[in-house]
Every structure is written in structure tokens, then in C-alpha cells.
Amino acid sequence: MAETTLRLPVAAVALRPAPRTGALAEAFAGWTLAAPAIVLMWLMLLGPVVAVIVLSLTDWTLGAPAFRWIGLDNYLALTKDRVFWISLQNTLAYVAFTVPLSVFGGLALAMLVESASSLRGLYRTLLFLPVTSTLIAMALVFQFAFHPTVGLVNQALGAVGLPTTDWLKNPSTALYALGVIGIWQAIGLNMVLFLAGLKSIPRDLYEASAVDGADGAWERFRRVTWPMLGPSLLFVVTITAIRALQVFDTVQVLTDGGPNKATSVLLYQMYQEGFSFLRTAYAAALTCVFLGMVLLLTWMQTQLMEKKTHYG
Amino acid sequence: MLGMAVFFSVAPFVLMVAISLKPPGEVFSPQFTLLPQQWHAVENYTLAFTKQPLLRFILNGLFVTACIFAAQALVALPCAYALAKLRWSGRNITFVFVLLGLLVPTQVAALPLYIGLWKLGLLDTYAAIILPSTISVFGIFLMRQYFMTVPDDLISAARLDGLGEFAIVWRIMLPTAMPALVAFGMLSFVWNWNDYFWPLLVIQTETLATPPLGVVFFNNAEAGTNYGALMAAATAVTAPLVLAFLFAQRWFIDGVTMSAVK
């Protein structure tokens, strides 16, 4: 490799740092090692995102030979689409139902496991198990459990005199029945994340608060645990909410968006529009709305994080 | 309290296995019993494996997840090293793109990817399932964080020994980052085994189905009548994951925790 040396006045040469002979080789290595990843990232992930946004501005349907640019017409059509508003509402209701329960359930479990005197590992394993399971398979198990007559849920409820219904076929309960499945799978993950967060709280803080006279379990929680868990809590809420926004599997397999669109959610509508009705550009607009919501959640998280660090 | 939580956590699994052991008559009996009066396990599992190519679905799952993870590792590790330890002009902007990639849910890319594969005639093939997942921005991010903790002297020493950068990735960085790689592998395995959305879109042929899709094919074929056999299929599909998890729980949980500590 050629090395170029410049003839400069001695003083200037003394002030300049010696050129790194390996710099070019290092840059070359950097680019070539990262190249496959960069190419694939644009081909499979970032490129398609741009493509979806562009697609949503056309009227293309799959297989059509030509298309026109129609600007924001798809989005205008969305605002007039009754099913879109139902899907949006259902998705938000699903998120509002599952997120608090999954997050605080996970926190409660983490604290219970943390304070267990023995068998902590076993509890953690058994509680995390649902996270690894195949949702489709477990959804079918839940379908059986929710069965109006032979299902376990109604048998148990009936035994103690509580009201029963056909959970998955009743329009007012179907979405929440799916929500239960979602919570079941998410809670173990949140527990593990909170366990990590709890571990990072310095023990001295609890001792200090005890010295101050606040030694009861509730006091310790209120004064030390809860404030220190701030970042963890924010993180867990955000990822749980994003995952809840992505709900699809249970809807597609158990209820097909029904009964009467009661369980139609954003991604399910996108799937129908794009792959059943082949209204590709319209589905792209739906995808962009979905993406927008996810990005909004992430942005909110970063904003709240900023606020917290300014205080801390 | 904890006991109750564990009960609810484990109950569906137990229920799944219990039903898979029962004959049709007992599945719908008004009185629920844990163990069957009449063991129908052999019939249910045999039906599950013969009515639909269940074994094929499981093998597809293993094949697809193995191919995906191999590709992910091959692509992500060098890139993570380049981002963590090398100086090159594209470094910062590439990392920004990795972060952007992390923000985007995979379903957003579905429509264009589908169209692209359709144009290439690759729909309904293994390639269709595997290709989009070959890039794992999560993997790049995780490995980069880990690589950054590797001491620079180790790398300088390797360079003095005459090792090229490519060799450094595989012979120096990889061994030190094994825990992170294993965790990444576990998460990749579970995530891709369980993925339903994408295979649903691109696969029509039964013989190419991954486990979740296979179970749904089975469900559709049975028209919801033979629950025992369906549960047998569900058990067969869930078992590899549960076994893998029980075997390697430390790594699973570490992987999840590591990815959270951003």
C-alpha cells in the first residue's frame, strides 16, 4: 500500500499527528464487514418501509398493470371507512385492557418472586413459560377453555354461581377474551424485565429509608421501589403497548375479526384489505397508520425519559 | 398468591396435554377430569401425525429457524464488530439506521416484501420464509453492545499477530461474546418458530408450512370436531420450544434481560 509523505516545514510536521497507516485498511474492513448487513437492512426492512409509504399514495391493486398517484385519497377514504374506525377503536381498547394488567401483573409477580424465600428459580421458570409457547397452539387451548358449555372457564364460573357466556362469540366479550390470552402470554416477560429492574435498585436506599422511619412494605415500595423503577416501568409499558398494537394471531385464528367486527383490529384489517381483497394501496395506508402509532408510542417514551433525566 | 399465578400460567399447558389424551366422547363431557377415563393418546397422536404432515411441519420449523439464525449470525456479527470497533466513514449513519430499524415492527414491511417475492416468483418457497428474516437489527444491536465491552488490547494483539479483520470477528470476538450469541440464538429460534403472520401470507403449500401454520391447517382440515387430535398436534408443536426453554432457561432469560438494558 502506497504511503504518501508530504514535504512540509519541520514545525508543521511536528504539530501534526502521525498518519495512521492502517486507517485506510480499517475503513475498507469496516465497509466490507458491514456491507451485507447494510444491503439486507435496506432490502428487507428500511426499503420496504419507504415503499409502503409511497404505495399508500397510489391506487394500485395487486396484479394491476398500472396505477395512478392519488396523494392522500387513501387516507381520506380511511377516515370515511366505518370498519377502520371500528378497528382503531378495538385496537385501542385491546391496548387499554391488556397493558395495565400485563404491566402491573408483571410487576406484582416480580416483587412476589423477589421476596420468595425459596424456589425462586422454579417460580421464574414456570411464570416465563407462556412467553415461549406458540401462541397459535395456546390460542386453540383457550378456545376450548372458553367454550360455552364444556369449557373450563364456564364450568368454573358456573360452579361458584358467576355469570357465564360464550366468551368468544359474544360481541361484547370477544375482544376481552382475546385480551386475556394476550395478557397470559405477556405477563411472564414483563416479570423478567421487572426482576432485572428490581435487582438494579441499590440496597442502601432501602436501609436509608428505614433509618428515616419508613420501614413498612408499602412505605418501602412508595419511597424507594416505585421511583427507582421509573425507567424500567416506562420501558415495559412501551414494549407491552407496541406488542399489543401488533395483535393479530389470536384474531385471525379464533374469531376472524368477528363477531360483527367486534375483534377486528388494525393489523387484521390490513391483512384483509391487502391479502384477501387485494386492495394493496389501501392496505399500505393502513400500515402507515399502524406505523405512525408505533412511532408515536416510541417518541412518547423518549420524551418521558428526557424529562426524567432532567429531574434526576 | 404466587401459587395461584403459577397455576394460571401453567394451566393451559396442562389442559392441552390432558385433552390430547382423551377420546372424543370425553373431551366434550360436562364433567371435567384431568386424566382420561379411557386413554386415547395413541389414537390422537397418530391421527395428528397422519392426517396432516405434522412431523414435516416440525422439521420445517427446525430447518427454517436454523437457516434464519445461521444467516442472521453471518450477517450481524461482522457488522456489529465494524460498528463497535472499527473506524469508517459510514459507522455513525449505519448505527442510526440500525436504531431506526429497531423501531419499525416487522409487519410494516410485509406488503412490499410480498410484492417483491411475487415478482421474483419466490412465493410459496422456503426462501420466502427465510429471506426477510436474514437481517436482524436486534442481533446487530445486541452484539454491538457486547462487542464494545471487549478490550481493545485483545484486538490489537490479534492484529499484531497478523490476523485480518474478518478473522478477528470469528476467532476473537465470537468466542468472547458466546453468551450474547447464545441468548440471541434462543430468542431468534423462539421468535421464528412461533411466527405466524409472515408464513400465513407467503405459504400455501402444506408441505412447506411452519409449525403454527401447520396447526392452523390441521384445525381447518378437522373442521373443529376432533379436539383431542388437535390438542395432540398443538402439544407436538409446542413441545420443542418448551424443552429448549427448560434446557436453556438461563440463556433465554439473560437474553431477554440483556436486550432490555439498552
Q: What is the pLDDT of residues B196-252, one digit of tens each?
A: 999 999 999 989 999 999 999 888 887 666 788 888 889 999 988 888 888 887 777
| CATH code matching the domain that covers A73-311, chosen among 1.20.210.10, 3.40.190.10, 2.60.40.1180, 1.10.3720.10 | 1.10.3720.10
Q: How confident is the model at residue A242 (pLDDT cuts 50, 70, 90)?
A: very high
Assigned C-alpha cell, A141: 387451548
Which residues in chain B are contacts of A30 at CB distance < 8 A?
82, 86-88, 90-91
Say if CB A225 and CB A198 are below 8 A apart. yes
Q: What does the alpha-carbon distance between residue B59 and residue B175 come to, in Å, rounded to a whole number?
A: 29
Query: Within 13 Å of residue B70, how many CA atoms lie on the same side as its CB?
Result: 7
Quick check: B108 and A291 CB within 8 A? yes
Which residues in chain B are contacts of A47 at CB distance < 8 A?
112
- Provide the whole-model pTM: 0.87
Q: Is the pLDDT of residue B33 over 80?
A: no
Return the H-helix or E-strand segment holding A210.
helix A203-211
Which residues in chain A are contacts of B97 at CB distance < 8 A?
38, 41, 46
Classify residue B164 as exposed, middle or buried by CB count within 10 Å of its CB (0-12, 13-18, 19+).
Answer: exposed
Selected residue with higher pLDDT from A218 and B99: B99
Chain A touched by B182 (CB under 8 Å): no
Classify residue B251 as exposed, middle or buried by CB count within 10 Å of its CB (0-12, 13-18, 19+).
Answer: buried
Q: What is the pLDDT of residues A129-151, one digit of tens each?
A: 999 899 999 999 999 888 887 78
Quick check: B101 and A192 CB within 8 A? no
Q: Which stretches of chain A are assigned E, i.e. beta strand?
A: none
Which residue from B106, B257, B82, B132 is spatially nearest to B186, judged by alpha carbons?
A: B257
Q: What is the pLDDT of residues A3-53, one digit of tens each?
A: 455 555 555 445 545 445 578 888 888 999 999 999 999 999 999 999 999
**How long, in residues, is chain A?**
312
Which residue from A253, A291, A97, A96 is spatially nearest to B194, judged by alpha carbons?
A: A253
Shortest Cα–Cα distance, B111 to chain A (Å)? 7
Assigned C-alpha cell, A240: 407491552
How many residue pairs from chains A and B have C-beta atoms closer than 8 A? 266
> How does B195-231 read in b/e, with b if 16+ C-beta sit within 10 Å?
bbbbbbbbbeeeebbbbbbbbbbbbeebeeebbbbbb
Q: 3-state secondary structure string, A45-106?
A: HHHHHHHHHHHCCECCCCCCCCCCECCCHHHHHHHHCHHHHHHHHHHHHHHHHHHHHHHHHH
pLDDT at site B79:
94
Domains contained in chain B, CATH given: 8-260 (1.10.3720.10)
Assigned C-alpha cell, B1: 398468591
Q: What is the pLDDT of residues A178-218, one digit of tens each?
A: 999 999 999 999 999 999 888 888 888 888 888 877 777 78
Say if CB A126 and CB B255 are below 8 A apart. no
Quick check: A298 and B169 CB within 8 A? no
Radius of gyration of chain B (CA): 22
